[in-house]
Structure 1
């Protein structure tokens, strides 16, 4: 793994000149995650995942974009940027990487609210760059078997595995969907996208009370393994 922010210009340019480099841009958010997880949760998790993928594959790791689209959490605390702003930041970074002769980029997303901003960004950048750029936007929760949540069992377990900044004594059950129909869950999801507090008053989707560090380690390993395979598949399919 090569962490770009820790590099010096001459060495980095030599690395890029030596072989075709692949870059990873992690994208997270700053928003409420209940009373037991820090507001940096999404950014913390996606940073660790991106680091592990970069180390496993030998990719260049860019600094995490820590701000995301989280307006739906109002009046809970969030520091948000517009979808258009996030899209512009990613566009500019990818084009800047191209200027430095880095033509393959994985955008690893750690926040659900960022989905619209990264949707079809690969197609748009391919057109803008006249087919020179290969960009792959991937959201990490698509690479685990468990149902994704918000400050619930999954995110809390992952945070226990990577951080000491978790206050389990404050963990409480949030919105539980086990007995809901698929349509009810879908409707609740739509409501949460508009106003998360209307879907779950305490800001939690799921049950974090049974989360453990061990579970988090297992989930993290699963994500990294599957996401790593997906990265390789993307490169193989594109080259064929």
Structure 2
């Protein structure tokens, strides 16, 4: 199997690959609690898995993943590491500038952590007039439709975390990292003022799960990964028809 991850390649290999296809992929995620049954690197592990699928289908190179994101809501829980939103955005902009320097024509950002989305959006916007490189960014494209197609549990308050969806994807990627004996179902109760305060989610949820992790299933994860990768590849193909 061909390797697409630049951390395992030489400078010559990267240069030669970019000469034939100047496209790079950046996985972004977090290091934060994911209940008692999933590893702290879940968001990044899933983003990397999706990046590998897209790389294989588009012959693109993968940049080493950003393992840290905005995880303030879990900051009290051991192991969680959080960056300020502006710091995350600055690092992202520096990566964009770096890959632009040596002729990358398209950067694909595959994000596995919902709280990163706002920073990614504004970083990409702010780079609009600093680079001619095209940038696509994704957080599980067509999520709602694909979720409803494969998952059976309800999403409440527009929040999902370490539940059926992420558990299914992790089972598909590496079931050895998942302990289903510790998977739980929890829909934390919010105070009426939650959205208007600085209340910490880690103080609201006993398990760190938002949804039903017990419904996680490996086959669901495999099918969802395939659909998400196909959606990203469709977008890349569409952009390439415009010659980047």
Question: For residue 110 of structure 1, what is the aligned residue in structure 2?
Answer: 112
Q: Distance in 2 between matches of 1:125 and 1:112?
A: 21
8 A contact 1:191–1:198 mirrored in 2: no
SS in structure 2 of the partner of residue 87 of structure 1: helix
- Give the alignment partner of residue 238 of structure 2, picking from 227, 233, 236: 233
1:171 aligned onto 2:172: no
Structure 1 position 223, deviation (Å): 1.4
Residues 82-127 of structure 1, C-alpha deviations (whole Å, 9 max, x = no match): 1111111111111111111112101111101111211132222121
The 10-residue stretch of structure 1 (45-54 or 114-123) with the greater mean CA deviation from structure 2: 114-123
* Residue aligning to 2:77: 76
| Structure 2: tracts of 5 or more residues without a match | 148-154
Number of residue pairs matched? 228
Cα distance in 1, alignment partners of residues 7 and 216 from structure 2: 33
Shift, 1:205, TM fit: 0.8
Structure 1 residue 199: Cα displacement: 4.6
> Residues of 2 paired with 1:154 and 1:199: CA distance?
21
* TM-superposition CA deviations, 1:116-152 (whole Å, max 9, x none): 21113222212122xx221122112544521672110
TM-score calculated relative to the size of structure 2 = 0.84
Q: 1:156 aligns with which of 167, 178, 195?
A: 167
Within 5 Å, give how 1:120-159 maps onto structure 2.
120-129=122-131, 132-140=132-140, 142-143=142-143, 145-146=146-147, 149-159=160-170
Alignment-derived partner of residue 41 in structure 1: 42
Q: How has the CA–CA distance of structure 1 residues 84 and 21 changed in structure 2, closer, same or farther, with 3 Å as cutoff? A: same
Normalising by structure 1, we get a TM-score of 0.85
- 1:206 corresponds to: 211
**Aligned-pair Cα RMSD in Å:** 2.5
| Local SS of the residue matching 1:105 | strand
